[in-house]
Amino acid sequence: MTAPGDRKLLRLEVRNMATPIERKPEWIKTRARMGPEYRQLHGLVTSEGLHTVCQEAGCPNIFECWEDREATFLIGGAQCTRRCDFCQIGTGRPAEYDTDEPRRVGESVARMGLRYATVTGVARDDLPDEGSWLYAETIREIHRQAPGTGVEILVPDFSGRAEHLDRVFEAAPEVFAHNVETVPRVFRRIRPAFRYERSLDVLTQGRAAGLITKSNLILGMGEERHEVSTALRDLHAAGTDIITITQYLRPSPRHLPVARWVHPEEFTEIAAEAEEIGFLGVLAGPLVRSSYRAGRLWARSMAGHGRPVPDHLRALAEPVA
């Protein structure tokens, strides 16, 4: 058996495959609520041949997010130069550098009439700038083509290099996000090409640049409960404004087995702890994803900093119906 792209399976992947896919507990389920905004947006995306991570990754929150006119886009190609044991994105030879991609993403955002767009992408260690121009240019193109849309940029670590990060900061996204994902003890095993302290420093640099900052933790990958508390304190001390916390769902038998299913009551407890620590925006739950309710979390964080929400993004500050 081979991995996607016909590459040979890693020994780690062979080991993972010895554990069958786990059965999900009762509380991990979604209800499809197709409101008018969702139906209109779905029709547009289908008829225009547009592509979003929301659809292609089968996100459980697509109905709510699209009803709020929020969507997520992936840039940089379908192959990542790094492999994390929880991530469904393939690892391999990256695509050619597509310098027209930012314009097309900006065009899609404008045609979809989004109020808020999250842009994420693969690591591009093959490029001299590690893809930082692509991220920055995508922010600029969305702001140019859809000036009424907020932009959240979710980046790799760019090896922590200030010149690459500054390129993204200067494009002025509404939110600068970098996901730490797990606790120090298991970090190296799950994210071997990343470093925990370096990821914290990336967030610190984003805060120093004056941006609203955000990160994510995935539970069920071998962490202990007290380690989650430590990671939350580390993230807050690093300057993180917004935190999302979710349950790990195994993408395939090749990936890390689920260590535990976190009960909704524990997510409620962790969310309360995060708020007490001082995060300005917190969402935690089994099906929360880092882009879930992203625009509203940004607006809440702006208020927490005492900053006014610009008139063209005022709808993001309205109460959820």
Helices 196-208, 162-170: crossing angle, 10 deg rounding: 40
pLDDT of residue 45: 76
Q: Which residues are part of a known binding site?
A: 54, 59, 65, 80, 84, 87, 291
pLDDT of residue 275: 98
* CA nearest to 206, candidates 247, 244, 171: 171
Q: Which residues are part of a known binding site for [4Fe-4S] cluster?
A: 54, 59, 65, 80, 84, 87, 291
What is the overall mean pLDDT for the chain?
A: 91
> Within a 13 Å sphere around the CA of 205, how many CA atoms are in the beta-carbon half?
22
pLDDT in tens, 180-226: 999 999 999 999 999 999 999 999 999 999 999 999 999 999 999 99
pLDDT of residue 162: 98
Q: Which domains does the chain have, with CATH numbers?
A: 36-317 (3.20.20.70)
Quote the pTM value.
0.93
pLDDT of residue 242: 99
Q: Is 274:314 a contact under the CB 8 Å cutoff?
A: no
pLDDT in tens, 266-311: 999 999 999 999 999 999 999 999 998 999 999 999 999 999 999 9
Q: What is the rounded average pLDDT of the residues 158-177?
A: 98
Q: What is the rounded average pLDDT of the residues 73-84?
A: 90
* CA nearest to 171, candidates 191, 155, 187: 155
